[in-house]
Amino acid sequence: MYNPTETAERIKAIAKEKSIVIKHMLSELDVNHSAVTSMTKRGSWISCDSIAKIADYLGVSVDYLLGRVSDRGSLTEHERAVVITYRERKDMQTAVDTLLGVEKDTENKN
């Protein structure tokens, strides 16, 4: 399902685009200096915590690094607040869906 080599390639590509030296990034994050190499050469996974730290550092979502979504973006704080409020306000969801033109069952489609 998830492929560590593909995840490592995404990390390397984003780091290259942003002129980030991977060894420096890993050092700053207190992640093993050979983590990305292990993913690439051995197909080994690193910890979830390390993947999350790398995603945050690179400004992308963990879902993007894992290949679950094609959009790199992480949610902004405002977007997170909107999503949380939407989930909490069940009484408003139909109105918001209608306003945005979103079908209710799109959340289950991939």
**pLDDT tens track for 54-88:** 999 998 889 999 998 877 766 667 877 888 889 89
Q: Count how many domains the chain has.
A: 2
Check whether residue 62 and residue 19 sit in a common domain: yes
Contact in structure between 27 and 53 (CB atoms under 8 Å): no
Mean model confidence pLDDT for the chain: 88
- The tokens describing 43, both together, are 């197909």
DSSP state of 107: G
Contact in structure between 36 and 12 (CB atoms under 8 Å): yes
pTM above 0.95, yes or no: no
- The tokens describing 25, both together, are 């990034």
Residue 22 belongs to domain spanning: 4-66
Cα–Cα distance, 57 to 64 (Å, whole number): 13
Question: Residue 23 maps to which CATH number?
Answer: 1.10.260.40
Q: Is 26 among the domain residues?
A: yes
Residue 6 has pLDDT above 70, yes or no: yes
